[in-house]
Structure 1
Amino acid sequence: MDSIAIIAAHCQVALRDNAPLILALFLAGLVGSAGHCAGMCGPFVLAQVGARAELSRVSGATLLPYHLGRGTTYIALGMLLAAPIGLLSRLDQLRWVPAVLLAGAAGLFLFQALRGFGAVGAPAPGFLHRARGLFARPFGMRGYALGALLGFLPCGLLYAALGAAAATANPIAAAMGMLGFVLGTMPMLIAIGWLGHGAAAHWRELARKAMPVIAAVNAVVLLAMAWQVAGIA
């Protein structure tokens, strides 16, 4: 019981100290999933919904095993990146590392904002996945494995979220941040599975317009956090 209490206390402190970051990542996932993830991950969602046609419309479109697998990959990556940064940042000569990572994540969100405003072009996709067999029957553990595998899909928005989460230098805080990001991405992807691309297009267009603004706000928030972490008066 003592170990559980200690873990709960650590989680409470991590949540309190990193609430702005967690909220920023949730909003980035919520808006970014419509403006960005719908085009990249939407086809994967629709392919699974088609394979689950024998299930009810709601349960077939929810794809909880897929989202759980995807979330596992995102959270694990965030924790794995945050752990060594936490160790390095304890050295006086390397205390600047989290601030640099936060500034880098801010730069990635700024890039997303500039892409949304049409100021820069989108990078060419180059992901070659090996998940065809899992699409045949994406149920249970197969759906989970598919989500975990597709969690490594290259994505600028994901990289920005991972950079921000890792900059906490705290695996628990990083896990919370990436959990917020995953929860933010779920509503639009579930809507795509339930309604299809056509019905979701209206919301996607609205989110596409909002995403540059949200990304720019997140960039400012992360830069402010980097400024604070760096101890600049």
Structure 2
Amino acid sequence: MLQETTLLTLFLLGFLGGTHCVGMCGGLSSAFVLQLPPHISRIKLILLLNLGRLGSYALIGALMGALSQSTLLLNETRLFQMILFVAANVLLLLMGLYLAGIFAGAAHIERIGKPIWRKLNPHLNRFLPIQSLTGSVVVGALWGWLPCGLVYNAALYALSSASAGQGALYLLAFGVGTLPNLLAMGIFAVQLRGFLQAKAVRLVAGLWVAAWACWQLWTVFQNLYSSSQ
């Protein structure tokens, strides 16, 4: 049951986090499309870009899951996994408040991945403007490593899984949640950006994420209390 709930959580994080994705990744997605040579289909480009991005997310999830899987402490007890799961939901709560425009502090989380992005960015620029379908996949794969607090939140859930396969599945669930917004962003860039970045939309989406995090934390603590009786 915990795995199914986590998959739903990460899907919702990706979907409701669209207000953040459009601001952060929407510009890139639109730029890639605008640079598209006439002989490449826009729909194919957008699909392959996102296929590459989801591949990178799955790799991140697998790496995080394998890291925890190889840790002796996680193999011997579920206590550390539970701690990580709680930490992931606390971060989810903060990200929800950030999406809602209530707490800006969560934005600093994205600084964690900047050293990696500085090394990958020159490789990304080598494939721009995109000249082939293969280049679309490569650009999408590199795009998946763009510093993003939502991805880091999903990665923390993957770390709590203690399984490379499950970790990859968690990040894929998150990635699939981002697809509706980013696919639409590639096609209806101007119209969608205005809607998703409206204050009311950001507030509702962010509060939904925060409320979901609170519900999961309440469920965890309730189960811990019941087991201690």
Alignment TM-score, normalising by the size of structure 2: 0.80
CA 138–42 in structure 1, closer or farther in 2 if over 3 Å, else same: farther
Q: What is residue 165 of structure 1 aligned with on the other side?
A: 158
Helix, strand or coil for the counterpart of 2:127? helix
**Aligned counterpart, 1:28:** 13
1:85 and 1:44 map into 2 onto residues whose CA distance is 32
Report the Cα offset of residue 67 of structure 1.
Answer: 1.1
Which position in structure 2 is the counterpart of 1:214? Answer: 208
For 1:1-233, list aligned pairs within 5 A: 18-33=3-18, 35-52=19-36, 54=38, 55-60=40-45, 63-87=46-70, 88=72, 89-92=74-77, 95-115=78-98, 116-121=100-105, 122-123=107-108, 128=118, 129-130=121-122, 131-137=124-130, 139-205=132-198, 207-223=201-217, 227=221, 232-233=227-228
Q: Classify 1:58/1:152 alpha carbon distance in 2 versus 1 (closer, same or farther; 3 Å).
A: closer
> Which 10-residue stretch deviates more, 114-123 or 179-188?
114-123
Is the CA contact (8 Å cut-off) linking 1:51 and 1:137 kept in structure 2? yes
Provide the C-alpha distance between the structure 2 equivalents of 1:133 and 1:213, rounded to a whole number of angstroms. Answer: 40
The sequence identity of aligned pairs, in percent, is 28
Inter-partner Cα distance in structure 1 for 2:87 and 2:220:
9
Is the Cα contact below 8 Å between 1:96 and 1:230 reproduced in 2?
no
Q: In 1, Cα distance between the equivalents of 2:226 and 2:67? A: 21
Aligned-residue offset at 1:19: 0.9
How much does 1:81 deviate?
Answer: 1.1
Deviation at 1:167, TM superposition (A): 1.0
Question: SS at the partner of 1:136?
Answer: coil
> Structure 1 pair 152/58, CA: closer, same or farther in 2 (3 Å)?
closer
Paired residues of 1:138 and 1:146 also in contact (CA < 8 A): no
**5+ residue gaps in structure 1?**
1-15
For the Cα contact (< 8 Å) 2:23–2:193, is it kept in 1?
A: no
1:224, distance to aligned residue in structure 2 (A): 5.0
Q: What is the CA distance between 1:214 and its match in structure 2?
A: 2.7
Partner Cα separation in structure 2 for residue 152 and residue 140 of structure 1: 20
Query: Retained in 1: the 8 A contact 2:65–2:164?
Result: yes
Q: Which moved more, 1:123-132 or 1:190-199?
A: 123-132
User: Deviations 1:52-93 (Å, cap 9, x if unpaired)?
Assistant: 252445445xx122111111111111111112313431224x
Letter matched to residue 70 of structure 1 = R
Query: Matches of 1:172 and 1:44 in 2, distance apart?
Result: 29
